[in-house]
Structure 1
Amino acid sequence: MDRIVLVTGGGSGIGRAVAARFRVAGDTVIITGRNADRLTATAAEIDARPIVCDATEPGQVERMADELGTGLDVLVNMAGGNTDLDPPGRPGTPLEQVLAAWRANLDANLLSAVLTTTAVLDRLRPGGSIINVGSIGAEYATTSYGAAKAAVAAWTAGLSSVVGPRGVTANLISPGYIAETDFFRGQLSEQRRAALIEATHDKRAGHPDDVAETAYFLASEGARHITGQTLHVNGGAHTTR
């Protein structure tokens, strides 16, 4: 295939795996991220085009969209992460710290996807796909991260009705525990890791390729009538009816 694919947060982890999957299939792939050195290295390894961009900054997102050109077929909003795992030390009163923590996760996970999608929407061609990435944490939403990912899921369902008449699908992938990433930033204990695996039905950790293959399917001809949906990739750790 020869589509133009944009993967935000494509410099590492799941985003890198998603970008590599589309590139192996022959698509032209653009990856974005904040870390210029990592982004450049990944782009060279998988033969993608890098554009340094912080998806929470409107000016940078506008510039990135201008650099894309006029046509786009697939958008994967992968940028995000749990900002509660950032080093502690936010200034202010306890309530001000709570406000800053919640805003940080909303910015990183919800608003980054909203800004990017809005900026490139007119470039998406009929037959295109928007693929957002949520989390199993949205099913519990007791933290700012879970709430932010739940908001992404709700927004994706509504987005589908907006882009559907244009011939564009919009879906959300909701991963469970995915190993071989830096999501937990070294803060995942072996006991917690074992519990996450035990909660699955297939008794294994997820892999970035599990998400990459799902993203590739959602952008395929075989998924043109799938839109407005959340696809759970978690080995049965959370099930739906």
Structure 2
Amino acid sequence: MDWQEVAGNWVIIPRHPIAIVHFLGGAFVATAPQLTYRWLLEQLAHQGYAIIATPFVNTLDHGAIARSVLNSFETALDRLQATAAMRRRYLPIYGLGHSMGCKLHLLINSLFEVERAGNILISYNNYPASQAIPFIQQFNINPAFNVEFTPGPIETNTLIAESYPIRRNLLVKFTNDTIDQTTNLFEILQYRYTNMVSLQILPGSHVTPLGQDIAWATGREFTAFDALGQWVKQEFLYREQLQLKKEILRWLNPALPG
């Protein structure tokens, strides 16, 4: 399977897709999700999930970004549904977000009428601009001049608590993530949809979803040394990413063997 560009989105379509995953990445790595999140997204595609990853450039107006990425996604989806791989088939749509991408999915579902079978929200981040953007304090010399995201953190939480309609959600928090706010989000969603929100705490850090594949060049014959290399990759280089992949796939399809 190869990546293709469709209406500004980066897309992988398996031969027989079983569902669609709309992916949105973190604030400063979202411009090329087919590169920065390649390993994770391709792993999901290999399990039959069509991936539509929408790039975006971060600005202070997060509501406008949410509208823009939704328009881009729906344009790509319309074009893909005219292809042989997806024509005349109903496929459930799941949102998958990392860091700021979580906030955008939450805004998309709270502000606009969209259909989602569920959302997967990894390392949710909803900090004010003064904490989220390095050196933003230098723009706040005049107390009357305040630089902040729209909607801001409090407004975003209120919007989610009052208007977020997606009942089934998987929240992922990593043990070594100092900028994660998943616990706060879990409390909001748990109050709104009791027993429909799952929280998984996994080993890793805020950048765990960005893990990349490292090619292991084998010789003409697969040797014990090659087997050792593969074991090292799985046990040490990819342990956290493999656990994340496992939890996402198990939540997407609970019928799969553990």
Alignment TM-score, normalising by the size of structure 2: 0.42
Please identify the structure whose Cα radius of gyration is greater. 2
More helix by share: 1
- Could you tell me the TM-score, scaled by structure 1's length? 0.44
